Amino acid sequence: MYTLHKIYILALLSLFTASNSHADSIRNSRRTAVVEAVERIQPSVVSLHVRYRERVSQLYQFRGDPFLNFFSPFYYVVPQDRNRVSTGSGFVVDNKGYILTNSHVIGDPHSLQRITVSLPEPDGRTFEAHYVASDINFDLAVLKVDEADLPVAPLGNSDDILVGEWALAIGNPFDLGPTVSIGVVSALDRDIPEPQGEYYYRDMIQTDAAINPGNSGGPLANADGEVMGINSFIYTGGDYTIGSIGIGFAIPINTARSFLDEIRLHGQVRRSWTGIMALQDITRPLAEYLALDSIYGALVVKIAMGSPAEVAGLESGDVITAIGGEKIQDTDEAIGKLRGLRVGEVATLDVVRHNEHYKLDLLIEKRPRHRMRR
């Protein structure tokens, strides 16, 4: 009898152990690399609420003679200011309280009234942030919170991204609060030919992770929980469609690093200057006149005296065919690449002059207050 009782207890213990082992197996299977990546980066992602003043035109009807207004109503426009609140995302980049986001999330800094940032639960703290600087060439902005005890996002290396690897978009879409979506890196080095609003985007990361209004400024992370890029805009498939269809774009984090370095060292973004005052597209008649092999490139029309362009040896009439080893299709592409250069960088220009090919090293300088033209 005692032996049977002992066997029964051992059997129960065995079943209990097997049940716990099964539960542990399920629990462990739920803790994927994606879950661990989200736990690593999400605490540093903030929801932004930006209050600003905007000028609008209000239409009023003249309240004169009702009989005349019935046949020929008279309207007049009165400009008015009103408060607006926009939402977006951002993430903490260091223990000094700097927060990185998109410039278009902040808008015109002169119209700002208040910026609040909220950390996700379980922290849940809300702070007032102040605007530091923007770089409209890259659609980047940095804010600062006077609070040192903030979780910091691990920044990765966007030069080490693999097409097809996991991509996590974290942010505040439609002001719903902290939200995670997952996809893959669809493509790299995407140049967007048409401006998105006021911004030209180049060398972008493409992803099919769901990005929606409000995600702007939030991080695009890899499966290690490191920031690869800053979610910036999406294609929606039509003028009246709002929402993700799986084509979203993020600014590489290495592009943002140079922006952050400018802020930390100089307190602002130094405006770069090349001295190239005017460029022109190459038409077929112009290509024939200049004896060019193609219409690709940008014709230099005017440069400033004593400018970096003149020091580099660039002349009016030269055709720029490549910048930094990347071929130039037209004037817009040339301007976009030149605007993307930082003060102190050296860009190698491939130039055609009188059927001769040259390479010129252009040192980017800080834009002077007064310039002379020729």
Integer Cα distance of 30 and 326 in angstroms: 45
How crowded is the C-beta side of 371, counted as CA atoms within 13 Å?
A: 17
139 is catalytic: yes
For 70, the enclosing helix (H) or strand (E) is helix 66-71
Amino acid at 122: P
Q: Is 244 a catalytic residue?
A: no
- Euclidean distance between the first and final Cα of the chain, in Å? 111
Q: How far apart are CA 279 and CA 331, in angstroms?
A: 6
Query: What are 154's two structure tokens?
Result: 């691990």
Helices marked H in 132-205: none
CB 171 within 8 A of CB 180: no
216, 232, 244, 307: the active-site residue:
216
Q: How far is CA 259 from the centre of its chain?
A: 11
Distance CA 130, CA 115 (A): 7
Q: Which residue among the candidates 104, 158, 181, 272 is catalytic per the annotation?
A: 104
Q: Count CA atoms closer than 13 A to 96's CA, side-chain side.
A: 9
Cis peptide before 122 (omega within 30 of 0): yes
Residue 59's H or E segment, with its range, is: strand 45-61
Examine the residue annotation and report whether 22 is marked as an active-site residue of this protein.
Answer: no
Q: 135, 139, 208, 350: which one is catalytic?
A: 139
- CB-based contacts of 370, cutoff 8 Å, min separation 6: none
Residues annotated as catalytic are 104, 139, 216
